[in-house]
Amino acid sequence: MRTLDDFAPKVGPICGVDEAGRGPVMGPIVVAGVLVDDDTELMRIGVRDSKRLTPARREQLVKEVMAVSRYEIVTASADDIDVLRQSMTMNVMESKLFATVIEKLGGKIAYVDAADTNEEVFAKYISNELGGKVKIISKHGADDLYPVVSAASIVAKTRRDAMIEEIKEELGQDIGSGYPSDPKTINFLKSWYTEHGEMPPHTRRSWKTVDRIISELSMTRIDKYEE
């Protein structure tokens, strides 16, 4: 992992921003930002991309990250996402969330994990939201490149995991991770829809996964009726 000095001159406090939960069919998207004077302490405690850490290690590191930095978290619920997607793309929505976090933290430069396939386009989205007041360094895999973004990814991931646990308690069932690739999540959605005739709370109803499940279950009912 490279330090910030490998990429940019010192310009005062810098922040890193990352998200957790862009792709799931259930639960919120969480965007977290971390602000530090430099990344020395983050390197010392051993931050890494949250996806490369065990849950136990993330839980340990997030406390250390919060102790050596300022941080901000913003979330958008499944319902928020469904509403916002009616008027904007996910990339634009994310850029607005990233900008909100950056504005709250301050700092003259922000390193972000690019959500758009075009790194420069994503940087421009964020910069426009901030009126060009902050220099945006947008990179794919930034959570592997910059310790400050790694730290942000840890904060975002642990917060989303905690929110998923709250949803499980609220619904009284294990919903899995919330990702379309998780069989436990898909089986839960199918079971709930079969029993209630609608998707459960905290589901992103604008997701194609939901359309596929409803279509599949509707076809199954038709087949049974024809028999």
pLDDT at 168 over 70: yes
* Residue 49 to residue 87: CA distance in whole angstroms: 31
* Residue 48 to residue 148: CA distance in whole angstroms: 9
Please give the class, per CATH, of domain 4-168. Answer: alpha beta
What is residue 54's predicted lDDT score, i.e. its pLDDT? Answer: 93
Per-residue pLDDT of 174-217, as tens digits, reads 999 999 999 999 999 999 999 999 999 999 999 999 999 999 99
What CA dihedral angle connects 155, 158, 159 and 164, to 10 degrees?
160
> Where is average pLDDT lowest: 47-51, 93-97, 121-125, 169-173?
47-51
* Residue 63 to residue 195: CA distance in whole angstroms: 41
The DSSP output letter for 200 is P
Question: Closest Cα partner for 48 from 36, 37, 38, 60?
Answer: 60
Superfamily covering domain 173-226: Ribonuclease hii. Domain 2 (1.10.10.460)
pTM: 0.90
User: Which residues does 5 contact at the CB level (< 8 Å), separation at least 6?
Assistant: none
Domains of the chain, residue spans: 4-168, 173-226
Q: What is the DSSP string of 128-176?
A: HHTTT-SEEEEETTHHHH-HHHHHHHHHHHHHHHHHHHHHHHHHTS--T
Contact predicate 44/61, CB 8 Å: no
pLDDT at 8 over 50: no
